[in-house]
Copies of this chain bind each other. A is one copy, B any other.
Amino acid sequence: MKTTIISADDLRYIVNRIGLDELMDETIHRLTEVFDDYHPGETVIPVRGGFKYSHPHLGLIEWMPGMRIGDGVYIKVVGYHPSSGALRGLPTILSTQSMYSVSDGHLVSLMDASFVTALRTGAASAVASRVLARSGSSVIGLIGTGAQAVTQLHALSRVFPLEKVFLFDVDAGAMESFPARVACLKLDHLSMESGLVKEWIDEVDILVTATSVGIGDGPVFQDANLADHIHINSIGSDFPGKFEVPNSVLARALVCPDFPEQAAAEGECHRMMPEDVGPDIQTLVKQHDHFSNDRERCTVFDSTGWALEDIVTMDLFREYAGRFKVGHEIQLETISTDHRNPYQFLMEHPDAAAPHIIRRNA
């Protein structure tokens, strides 16, 4: 009864073996499939819990549990420490996820969650955009060119015949470094141009807002000169009062959340009356033909990050780890064959291994 620990090196091996494009395609495919098959009542997603603190620095550790009934409990733990970069040269977000069997409570697997969260957030936008954006969309606008923008562009490039990308970020460094960051995606045929949003927004078919705009500081663009058919993937709105899309756009658009309860609490939908909110992403996928006319009007995908997406990607990587036989298989739980004796596991077991001696700095 071992736990499969998928290390960062194992993850890198899996991604390099599959190929980044093929992995994104598979993630888009799996999400589409899961949304299409989704029945409410198959999963239980409670509200997340967490600790916020200001000592030693401002930070937040949250746990996001989810259960697929009859199968597994998934817990993603996310640490957000805004000063980690400047102070310690670390990412501001560190995240892991674990899966427990509902048959016996066994910890089945543990892995990183930062990379796969970026991956599935991109893939979810591709799924929504495929329903809501014009099928020939070729011009993308990115407002906010940080980490999320990389996977957003990657995912959209897999489902649209992209030709041109416009960029804007309040941080000039983030804007200038963006082309180098997506160089590995072989998008050489794309022309990239940076500039103020108002200078290019009239040309855009699909707009992605993935900013860290401050609470109350939105929107991140003005409602002027937008194409009638513009589709917007709003990624950055993840806290009450933090928003990216102008009210007038929300008012006339078909606004589709990933996870309605959560989007109503912290997404763009937070500023809308419940009756004005459009169908959620699983409805979009199930009834995609029904929305073909909406491709000619303004649409918004309000992406707040649905725990179901994390379940899908964790399952995907568990599958790959099994197929490629990578991962550390560790007997973590103490199993006493006599359940009434907590000390029994201390006796020699037939399959006991020597303790794992750490070779520090080896």
A residues contacting B by CB (< 8 A) are: 1, 4-5, 7-16, 20, 44, 46, 49, 51, 53, 55-57, 59, 61, 63, 65, 67, 69-70, 73, 75, 77-81, 84-85, 88-96, 98, 100-107, 110-112, 114-115, 118-119, 145-147, 150-151, 154, 174, 177, 181, 184-185, 324-347, 352-358, 360
Q: How far is the CA of A154 from the CA of B343 in the complex (A)?
A: 11
A147 interface neighbour in B9, B75, B101, B340, Cβ under 8 Å: B340
* Chain B residues whose CB sits within 8 angstroms of the CB of A341 once the complex forms: 147, 150, 181
A100 interface neighbour in B9, B61, B147, B344, Cβ under 8 Å: B61
* Chain B residues whose CB sits within 8 angstroms of the CB of A360 once the complex forms: 325, 329
Q: How far is the CA of A344 from the CA of B327 in the complex (A)?
A: 21
Chain B CB within 10 Å — which of A5, A61, A75 has the most? A61
* Chain B residues whose CB sits within 8 angstroms of the CB of A118 once the complex forms: 342
Contact status of A49 and B49, CB under 8 A, knowing A11-B334, A147-B340, A332-B7:
yes
Contact status of A79 and B104, CB under 8 A, knowing A91-B335, A92-B339, A342-B150:
yes
A79 interface neighbour in B44, B105, B358, Cβ under 8 Å: B105
* Chain B residues whose CB sits within 8 angstroms of the CB of A355 once the complex forms: 7, 9-10, 12-14, 324, 326
* Chain B residues whose CB sits within 8 angstroms of the CB of A119 once the complex forms: 342
Contact B102 A56 (CB under 8 A): yes
* Chain B residues whose CB sits within 8 angstroms of the CB of A53 once the complex forms: 67, 69-70, 102
Contact B356 A105 (CB under 8 A): no
Contact B9 A356 (CB under 8 A): yes
- For residue A146, give the distance in angstroms from its CB to the closest CB of chain B: 5
Contact A358 B325 (CB under 8 A): yes
Return 23 A-B CB contacts under 8 Å, by A number: A4-B358, A7-B330, A8-B335, A9-B331, A15-B346, A46-B49, A53-B102, A61-B67, A61-B73, A63-B65, A77-B98, A81-B104, A85-B339, A89-B337, A90-B335, A94-B105, A110-B110, A111-B332, A112-B333, A184-B343, A326-B355, A328-B358, A329-B358
- For residue A210, give the distance in angstroms from its CB to the closest CB of chain B: 11
- For residue A341, give the distance in angstroms from its CB to the closest CB of chain B: 4
